[in-house]
Structure 1
Amino acid sequence: MPLLHRLPRQCIILAQIRFNHATNLARINKVVIANRGEIAMRVLRTARRLGIETVAVFSDADANSLHTRSADQAYHIGQASPLKSYLRMYALVDVAKKSGAQAIHPGYGFLSENPEFAELCAAEGIIFIGPSANAIRDMGMKNTAKKIMIEAGVPVIEGYNGDNQDPEYLFQKAKEIGFPVMMKAVRGGGGKGMRIARSEKDFFESLESAKSESSKAFGDDAMIIEKFVQRPRHVEVQVFGDQHDNYVYLWERDCSIQRRHQKIIEEAPAPGLSMETRHRLGKAAVDAARAVKYVGAGTVEFIMDPRGDFYFMEMNTRLQVEHPISEAITESTAASNRATL
């Protein structure tokens, strides 16, 4: 699998454009940055290096922020609350039309993994710099994602990801899998709706707790059940895809040091892995991206057991907060390569 040894930092706004006709490609001359803070500035600086004009959006709270002052144009989109500003899909599309921008970059958070926003952009003839609405939906549902990965031959953890959510039925499935088991919210993320049942006597209490948290966080209490991997490593792979079935991976990041399922430290490349394992991880990540016809930057996350076997966990269908770590190691590699020419 080829690696982009020379990939520059403009990879963060890499996009292939799909209009009504698949062969119709358009150049991006101006982009709306539908975000604020650090990610807005990173997109802005990259766009400037590429000769692309930038349009900032800002709430009442961000009128004098750096991204607002740094962009070529800036538009007010609402009150301080994100619900009344950065999450207003139609307001963002309106800014793109008023400013003459061809594209919207969502950054991370806010609307970056909202399939309805991706669909709205497409319907209005605006380029959404990210994956398709279908890819966002499929990877956002843990049960659907797991089915797709099984069909694609990507390693997955033994478990149950069916529709029957009766607690007694889930209990029987957990016994078939073998304790300890982990239950995960189908629509979950960020560690919410996750519980471990280490024995049969823990199961129903853990299930009820996971369902309750999932319902409050995501409005859905459906669960999948998986064999719990003890002493795991959490390793994620940065991938990129375009609309011509081209996919690459940019090494991996180890994010095993966590607190309450939240990442604290990332190391890249992941320590202690053989090159053979790194390439197997990369190939599995590319296979996962290809299975959903992924476009743009994404991250495929794996759980790895003490033997070095790894299993698909989820795919983040957006640019990640951790992406600068991959930028740092690929920039370092590129600089090294240039020095030897």
Structure 2
Amino acid sequence: MAILIAAGLASPWAAAQEGALRIDGYLQARAVATERPTAAYTDDGTSFLVRRARVRFTHDVGIARFVVQLDGAASANPIIRDAYVQVPFGPGDTAEKPFCFWAGQFKVPFGYTIPESSRVRLFPERPVGFETTVMGNALFPTVRDRGVRLTYTRAPLQADLAVVNGGGINAPTNDPDNSKDLYGRLEYRFGVVSAVASARVGSQRVGTVDRQRSVWGLGIRVTPLLTGELSAEYAAGLDAVPGRAEPEAWYVQYLYPLNARWKVGARYSAWDPDTENIGVPGAAGEERGPGFVVAYQPDARLRFTGAVDLLRVTADAQRRSATVGVLQTQYAF
């Protein structure tokens, strides 16, 4: 069954039989070992868990597509991860139309790692600071939001513009502060090299005052590079809380296929919740360190992954270890 990828230079519209209903999904079961530097981090130890158990329903009717993706692992009850309608338009056949209008709940268009599917990503989690951190704060903690989006795809260019609530998918159904966030993403490919520039501009109500909340980012990807893939991404911005922080996240990553079944990868990622608090007594939360991954895929549906992130976290005015090790079994259909 087809895998739909909402971002990248490939068109977001794939040809399908009109009126066809497609079902696909994947499950990620894990054994996790974590090391945390102080009592402030509550998930120290070892655990078995189901990280993701997702099923997606896609229905094409020629002029539009309906997509709903459910996740049964994040909570006791299934939750909706994606729920949107895509409407292609412009010159050409349906599969080749350059424009696509989105409405609903979808991944926000920013950089490389945020739109990338957890189903195909080699590392179990995104680089630190983009979706998750040891402290629990990050630039895009829910990855998704609700609103409308316009995509233009005509190789070698892809452009995205989106207007969303700004609170992520954990926010109430109604936008709590009535302000909207604007996303823009522009990707261009030069042979084996692609470059991406992204931005988010918005505001957040703090008390009775609307404060600016923005992020901008740059990225580069080289595929192939010595038969592997090199990616680097940098994002920084201005957060409305706490105290007008200026967060920053970046990573450099290289993935290499040893053969048709084995793949390895290495990356270095860093997160700073406020680049302006250097030297401030009690400042904490900076995270950085290398990560490594090995994956064995004996079949198109089955993949075994082992990964470790050797993070160091600023806590108690010291750099302390915050290592995370993951053994994951994934089945996709």
TM-score with structure 1 length normalisation?
0.23
Q: Which has the higher strand share?
A: 2
Q: Which has the higher helix share?
A: 1
TM-score with structure 2 length normalisation?
0.23
